Chain A
Amino acid sequence: MTGGTAAVLERHLLRADRQEDLAFALWRPSTGHARMTALVQEPLLPLADDRHVHGNASYEPAYLLRAAQQAAAQGAGVAFLHSHPGGSGWQGMSGPDEVAEARAANLARELTGLPLLGLTLAGLDRAWSARIWDRSTGRSVDRSWCANVRVLGDGLRLSFNGTLLPAPPVDERQVRTAHAWGERTQAVIARTSVLVVGAGSVGMAVAETLARTGVRRIGVLDFDTIEDVNLDRLRGATRLDARLRRSKAFVAKRLMAGASTVKTPVHEVGELSICEPEGFERILDYDVIFSCVDRPWPRHVLNTVAYADLIPVIDGGVRAFRNSDGNLRNAYWRSTVAGPTRPCLACLRQYDPGLVQVERDGSLDDPSYIAGLPADSPARSRENVAAFSISVAAALMQQFVSLIVQPSGIGDPGPLRFSLRDHVLEHEATVCADDCAYQASAGWGDRRLNPSGRHEAAEAARRARRDVSITLRVGRLFDDSLQTLARAMERSRRR
């Protein structure tokens, strides 16, 4: 849910007299490849006679009926929320809690077609816990516990189900990191699932840094192939990778495996574009997304989910400008977090929405089309310098730390721009247009306008890697065997 929705609910549920209270709200599904997220919104706070507070709280059937009818009219589900004022952390359910939710579950499902979502707010640390009543046999209903609850306000506030996602112990390799922000915060970082979109010079550095920081579940999506021209800046890539036409996703997985400081890392890489339907589904499976792409279509896809699916997207990029004599005039790198209450990537001009359809129809991969674009078009920019990429990666990681760790209670700083010539870091004051379509779509989930489609460049890249000579295939097998052996030796050395 957004920080605004959470604030309304928390003000109502956490009473001055420290009694429990309850409320209903609406929720909408956001369905990924392996995860469904319930996006909680539109609190329907009780009127005077809708509920009774007596230490704990109970509701009148008419209140539930009104909530279910309103949800049905909007194509949403019903969320039933209550508080445990003296609780902290992820909350279990008492017998009366179970009875109250089970009693509401059938009516909510029958009227809305969606299962009831139950949430509990712990009063001592404002941790939310949740379950969904999605298992039924006839009139008998049962719940499935959610893995986490995310509140995207000034920062990202996460609470975790300790049974499904137990806090991993701090490994001896993470001691210095955990020393910076404490083991409790390290446990949050470790359990936050993070996707890196684009394994270029920025994405590869981000993926490696996340692995070293102790993030357990990291995804990387990139359809592209390593080439010699990437080797001046692509961390982890070798000349042999280029010769063997390895995918960037393959190299990212190898890099993360070598860098990870957790005992059981989960590294999910895919040779997909997020613009393809299958890639698009996968981005909905993560808590935080790094946008390490520079094309308009994938940025548009990420801008869409940042608002419609409430997944914070950390985006950045670099632009370099030359003088007429060819020397560097200045370079800027930017970083920001996109999501509700923050300016969107389109309004920040991080991409040109007019060029999204141009990329979709393949024109941006057509050299003759590119040649016809104005000289200052971002689509023609070719600069890419390792020293700049690492600065962008650092700026993105700083946004990530502010978003999750929230030093001194302060979340991500908003859009930032660094000027290399002056060595000045500026806060950008951009706000979205009043009728910004992305802001208006906040919390739509599966009702969003579908930004994905067929991506011929991704298909061609995968085909080219697959249809290689027998010599290259044997080379890859030999290289795979050597790497397997090296990993086995490293494991043996550690033992």
Chain B
Amino acid sequence: MERFIAGLQALGFAVERRGALAVAILDVGPGGIAASQAVGADPPDDFPNVAPHWIHLPGGVRLAGDPGNESELGDGWRKWSRPHPSWKGGTEAGRAWAAHARSLLLGAERHDP
């Protein structure tokens, strides 16, 4: 968890720990649903060798493809199974996860619960 948080903070993202999960504020960029977006992750103890599995998003935002599952973050958050497709770990692991999450957010949709 500490390595995940430190890796994202080193890239300039705000990250906070919430129990066994971490929530980062990622900038989505032009064409996305918002300028910045909170995204939750489940970094394992042996990050960066192993990638987080789930992408957690707050109520009102959905990833394309499936309705997702209930999230441990509560309060309308939902989570989607989106394992990184080509995880390599190493020193650039934080950047790789952020790029993966941001690419998913580009295809996300606003959703009124």
Which positions in A face B, CB cutoff 8 Å?
300, 304, 346, 352-358, 360-361, 363, 369, 372, 433, 435-438, 440, 449-451, 453
Which residues of the other chain, A, contact B91 by a CB distance below 8 angstroms?
435
Closest chain A CB from B51 CB (angstroms): 5
- Report yes or no: B90 in contact with A435, Cβ–Cβ below 8 A: yes
Which residues of the other chain, B, contact A450 by a CB distance below 8 angstroms?
45-46
- Report yes or no: A453 in contact with B45, Cβ–Cβ below 8 A: yes
Indicate whether B85 reaches chain A with its CB closer than 8 angstroms. Answer: yes
Given A355-B83, A435-B91, A361 contacting B42 (CB threshold 8 A): yes
Which positions in B face A, CB cutoff 8 Å?
42, 44-54, 66, 81, 83-92
Can you name 20 A-B residue pairings with CB atoms under 8 Å? A304-B46, A346-B88, A346-B89, A353-B49, A353-B50, A353-B87, A353-B89, A354-B84, A358-B53, A360-B53, A361-B42, A433-B90, A435-B88, A435-B90, A436-B90, A437-B49, A437-B90, A440-B90, A449-B49, A450-B45
- Report yes or no: B49 in contact with A438, Cβ–Cβ below 8 A: yes
Which residues of the other chain, A, contact B49 by a CB distance below 8 angstroms?
300, 304, 353, 437-438, 449, 451
User: Within the assembled complex, what's the spacing in Å between the Cα atoms of A304 and B44?
Assistant: 15
Closest chain B CB from A22 CB (angstroms): 37
Which residues of the other chain, A, contact B84 by a CB distance below 8 angstroms?
353-354
- With A352-B87, A449-B47 known, 7 other A-B pairs at CB within 8 A are A353-B84, A357-B51, A358-B81, A358-B83, A369-B81, A372-B81, A449-B45
Which residues of the other chain, A, contact B81 by a CB distance below 8 angstroms?
358, 363, 369, 372
Which residues of the other chain, B, contact A352 by a CB distance below 8 angstroms?
83, 87
**Interface-central residue, A357, A372, A433, A440, by most chain B CB under 10 Å:** A357
User: Within the assembled complex, what's the spacing in Å between the Cα atoms of A440 and B92?
Assistant: 14
Closest chain B CB from A380 CB (angstroms): 14
- Report yes or no: B92 in contact with A357, Cβ–Cβ below 8 A: no
Lowest 4 A-B CB distances belong to which pairs? A435-B90, A449-B46, A357-B53, A354-B83
- Report yes or no: B50 in contact with A356, Cβ–Cβ below 8 A: yes
Which residues of the other chain, A, contact B50 by a CB distance below 8 angstroms?
300, 353, 356-357, 451
Which residues of the other chain, A, contact B85 by a CB distance below 8 angstroms?
354
Which residues of the other chain, B, contact A435 by a CB distance below 8 angstroms?
88, 90-92
Closest chain A CB from B56 CB (angstroms): 13
- Report yes or no: A372 in contact with B51, Cβ–Cβ below 8 A: no
* Chain A, Cβ-Cβ closest to B85: A354
User: Within the assembled complex, what's the spacing in Å between the Cα atoms of A353 and B87?
Assistant: 6
- Report yes or no: B83 in contact with A360, Cβ–Cβ below 8 A: no
Given A346-B89, A435-B91, A354 contacting B45 (CB threshold 8 A): no
User: Within the assembled complex, what's the spacing in Å between the Cα atoms of A374 and B72?
Assistant: 26
Closest chain A CB from B2 CB (angstroms): 12
* Chain B, Cβ-Cβ closest to A300: B50
User: Within the assembled complex, what's the spacing in Å between the Cα atoms of A448 and B51?
Assistant: 16
Which residues of the other chain, A, contact B51 by a CB distance below 8 angstroms?
353-354, 356-357
User: Within the assembled complex, what's the spacing in Å between the Cα atoms of A108 and B65?
Assistant: 61
**Interface-central residue, B66, B81, B92, by most chain A CB under 10 Å:** B81
User: Within the assembled complex, what's the spacing in Å between the Cα atoms of A485 and B109?
Assistant: 69
Residue in A354, A358, A449, A451 whose CB lies within 8 Å of B86: A354
User: Within the assembled complex, what's the spacing in Å between the Cα atoms of A356 and B51?
Assistant: 8
**Interface-central residue, A355, A358, A436, A437, by most chain B CB under 10 Å:** A437
- Report yes or no: B44 in contact with A360, Cβ–Cβ below 8 A: yes
Which residues of the other chain, B, contact A358 by a CB distance below 8 angstroms?
53, 81, 83
Closest chain B CB from A360 CB (angstroms): 7
- Report yes or no: A437 in contact with B53, Cβ–Cβ below 8 A: no
* Chain B, Cβ-Cβ closest to A355: B83
- Report yes or no: A437 in contact with B44, Cβ–Cβ below 8 A: no
User: Within the assembled complex, what's the spacing in Å between the Cα atoms of A353 and B89?
Assistant: 8
* Chain B, Cβ-Cβ closest to A433: B88
